Homo-oligomer: A and B are copies of this chain.
């Protein structure tokens, strides 16, 4: 791996030699411009990266799973090999604390290995075999076999708030590469050097494990121009995006307007309501206030799972929770946000909200020139229900308490709320009936229901669902984290009466890979 930052897009196994202009990363803490300058990819280079991905696809998808797994593991190893150099650069570019960055690196590498293990085990391909029956009446039964196969090259858009886990070598890339799709990554210009370091690690892994050139490219430059061109390019067959609703929906629109529409999996916005039920409040009000404080301020509130709405009963116990939470938020030191754009948006919305007569500012924002302070607002359920704009996401360390008089108000809230990634229920003995009603109502509105915990923290495991109905994502049937995330980049393909030599291994009678299958309707290996 090269030791120098070059500021140039990675296209296949080469570096960009053209430039559509210069862009710079900045220190998230001081705003200072960082070196090197980054050359924006030209339109020709963007198209070339897509075409190389298309050209690499047949060879890459034909690689045995164990080779793709070795590639993923090598990426993880190379990322770790970057050591403190990567950590320091992430800290500089994002102002995220070192411990968080190290944790995110561990998660990113763990995720690559998770999917390496999963494709080596192989059952995820959902192989199904229905054998022929030449004696069947009135017509003989053909032999039908099917399994999931990759869609083609995937465009991946890095997230500002997860410079490692949802960026160059993050979940979208890991899952797309795992199932056999080449990727073209668009770097986030909020952390270009982080992207370059990760991209270099990924490219080196591809080369050293013998992957075809074009399996990975990394483009620097303006998000809209390059993003739109990628999603419109005929060689690209799907896209993964984590970011704003505006950005996500613009990509969705382009994808749907293509002569051949393609799926865009976007994780766009979520306010993650927390429902505090009366017995939980009575028994653990102070503890819940502390937990909420931790979750609201974690990572300076810059998580898509940040709890942006908290429903708390009216009355003294609820007042106590509000005061305790307010006190803790007031005592939280202002902190640098990921970039100037995010800081400005946050400042704007909390300042506006602080002067909004429909809410009480329990902790009014007092943002510095570069640092965001926490904010807390409060209103009553009827006011909140009448003013749906109050549910707008405040991306940062702020939340709004909705005080409810009767439990039915919370069900009304669920009926009126948009789709969310998560909802959380704080419950204790005596709250069971209310919780059961909430769960039934929430099941169709969110991806994940958290009990007696907090929505921040998304475990990478087979069962995780990090998705949710529109507008949390444009396609509520999918998840961007967890085992099922790989299913976004595949479709089932069927072979009828195929000669055995033309079948994928997973569909052969002798099941050489030993995967779980459905054979004549029965699941087994």
Contacts and interface: CB of A to CB of B under 8 A. Distances in A.
Interface stretch (A19-27, A139-147, A368-376): A139-147
Given A448-B495, A449-B498, 17 more contacts: A103-B138, A130-B461, A130-B462, A130-B463, A142-B453, A149-B444, A151-B444, A261-B474, A436-B501, A447-B492, A448-B494, A451-B495, A452-B497, A463-B494, A465-B492, A469-B491, A516-B516
What are the 10 A-B residue pairs with the smallest beta carbon separation, nearest first? A465-B494, A128-B463, A130-B461, A448-B494, A144-B463, A477-B491, A450-B496, A146-B463, A128-B462, A130-B463
This chain's copy number in the assembly: 2
A139 B493 contact: no
Contacts of A146: 448, 463-465, 482, 484
A439 interface: yes
Contacts of A502: 435-436, 439, 451
A448 B523 contact: no
B459 A144 contact: yes
A152 interface: yes
Nearest to A260: B470
A442 B457 CA distance: 42
Interface string A118-153: 000001001011100000001101101110010110
A181 B502 CA distance: 38
A283 interface: no
Nearest to A449: B495
A111 B356 CA distance: 58
A502 B451 CA distance: 10
Contact of A464 (B138, B144, B447): B144
A518 interface: yes
Contact of A451 (B62, B256, B490, B498): B498
A522 to B, nearest CB: 9
A263 interface: yes
Given A450-B497, A451-B499, A502-B436, A459 B492 contact: no
A278 interface: no
The contact size tier of chain A is 35 or more
Nearest to A431: B499
A447 B494 contact: yes
A263 B491 contact: no
Contact of A469 (B58, B260, B467): B260
Interface in A503-525: 516, 518, 521, 523
A273 interface: no
A46 to B, nearest CB: 22
11 contacts: A130-B463, A142-B453, A146-B482, A149-B443, A151-B444, A151-B476, A152-B444, A448-B494, A453-B496, A464-B494, A477-B490
A93 to B, nearest CB: 23
B138 A496 contact: no
Nearest to A445: B493
Nearest to A464: B144
A129 B467 CA distance: 17
B263 A449 contact: no
Contacts of A397: none
A440 interface: yes
Contacts of A476: 151, 491
Nearest to A432: B501
Given A444-B152, A452-B497, A260 B419 contact: yes
Contacts of A163: none
A463 B427 CA distance: 44
Contacts of A145: 463
Nearest to A497: B451
Contacts of A439: 502
Interface string A293-331: 000000000000000000000000000000000000000
A479 interface: yes
Interface string A246-284: 000000000010001101000000000000000000000
A198 to B, nearest CB: 22
Among A427, A465, A471, residue most surrounded by chain B Cβ atoms (within 10 Å): A465
A261 B461 CA distance: 29
A439 B145 CA distance: 14
Contacts of A521: 117, 461-462
A483 interface: yes
A133 to B, nearest CB: 10
A146 B466 CA distance: 11
Contact of A58 (B151, B440, B477, B498): B440
Contacts of A436: 501-502
A492 B477 CA distance: 7
A149 B261 CA distance: 26
Interface string A156-190: 00000000000000000000000000000000000
